[in-house]
């Protein structure tokens, strides 16, 4: 066990070269996201968008993805691991994308949530709460906190207070490297201490059955004095209304 732990800890801290690969993979993903937003229109199916995403990664020279892309519309956004279906996009829908690619075996990971047309009150409130939860976690990291469960708690307690327990049904984030989920993890009951130099996702979410969900996921580098956000895709509410 100790030996495995040591390997995990060594692997978690990224060299400059490893970091360059992760950032390059992320920049390609951001370009794919920009292209994908342009094809969204009423009536397009989730599976058509997924196909477009895969083709775009091939076009940009990154055909090996970190994991199968998640594309979900409307109520499907409440399903954390939704597989793209023949569901068609309609006005008023929440739209969720979660995808990444690999560059020289190193993964990227990002989630963005959008609204086709003006979001209703619940959609808006949910989105802003998730964004605020992410900010709270970032603030905790910036203040030098490295205990994973306390970072997770900063986001989770805020969301639980606002929406009741169990709406945020997964960990706040995970390490990223040559595999998409690697040590360490942001989880409520975990004893992980986050080392400087590792790349983590911060991805709070809220999910409501038969309504939809919101998840916002950025990849960050843990630094000596805080963190550096490696994700450039816009996420202010004005920027996610299509």
The per-residue pLDDT for range 2-16, each reduced to its tens digit, is 666 778 888 999 999
Level-2 CATH architecture, domain 2-240: Alpha-Beta Complex (3.90)
pTM over 0.95: yes
Domain ranges of the chain: 2-240
224-241 average pLDDT score: 98
Report whether 108 contacts 22 (CB < 8 A). yes
At residue 194, the pLDDT reads 97
Query: Which of 16, 39, 66, 211 lies closest to 125, judged by CA?
Result: 211
Report whether 100 contacts 110 (CB < 8 A). yes
The per-residue pLDDT for range 158-205, each reduced to its tens digit, is 999 999 988 999 999 999 999 999 999 999 999 999 999 999 999 999
Q: How confident is the model at residue 145 (pLDDT cuts 50, 70, 90)?
A: very high
The per-residue pLDDT for range 50-92, each reduced to its tens digit, is 999 999 999 999 999 999 999 999 999 999 999 999 999 999 9
DSSP string of the chain? -HHHHHHHHHHHBPPHHHHHHHHHHHHHHHHHHHHHHHH--TT-BHHHHHHHHHHHHHHTT--SBSSPPEEEEGGGGGSTTPPP-SPBP-TT-EEEEEE-BEETTEE--EEEEEESSS--HHHHHHHHHHHHHHHHHHHHHHTT--BHHHHHHHHHHHHHHHH-TTSS-S-SEEE-SSSSSEEEEE-TT---BPPTTBEEEE--EEEETTTEEEE-BEEEEEETTEEEE---S--SGGGGB-
Is pLDDT above 80 for 1?
Answer: no
């Amino acid at each position: 066990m100790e030996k495995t732990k040591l390997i995990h800890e060594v692997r978690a801290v990224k060299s400059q070269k490893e970091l360059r690969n992760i950032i390059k993979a992320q920049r390609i993903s951001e370009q794919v996201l920009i292209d994908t937003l342009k094809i969204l229109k009423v009536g397009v199916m989730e599976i058509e968008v997924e196909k477009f995403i895969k083709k775009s990664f091939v076009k940009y020279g990154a055909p090996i993805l970190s994991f199968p892309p998640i594309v979900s519309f409307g109520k499907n956004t409440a399903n954390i691991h939704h597989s793209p279906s023949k569901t068609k996009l309609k006005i008023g829908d929440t739209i969720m994308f979660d995808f990444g690619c690999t560059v020289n075996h190193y993964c990227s990971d990002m989630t963005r949530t959008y609204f086709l047309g003006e979001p209703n009150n619940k959609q808006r409130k949910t989105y802003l709460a998730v964004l605020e939860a992410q900010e709270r976690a970032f603030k905790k990291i910036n203040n030098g906190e490295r205990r994973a469960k306390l970072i997770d708690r900063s986001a989770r307690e805020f969301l639980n207070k606002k929406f009741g327990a169990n709406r945020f049904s997964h960990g706040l984030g995970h390490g990223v490297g040559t595999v998409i989920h690697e040590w360490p993890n942001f989880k409520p009951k975990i004893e992980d201490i986050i080392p400087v130099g590792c790349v983590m996702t911060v991805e709070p979410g809220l999910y409501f059955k038969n309504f939809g969900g919101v998840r916002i996921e950025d990849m960050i580098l843990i630094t000596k004095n805080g963190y550096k956000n490696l994700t450039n895709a816009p996420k202010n509410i004005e920027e996610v209304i299509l």
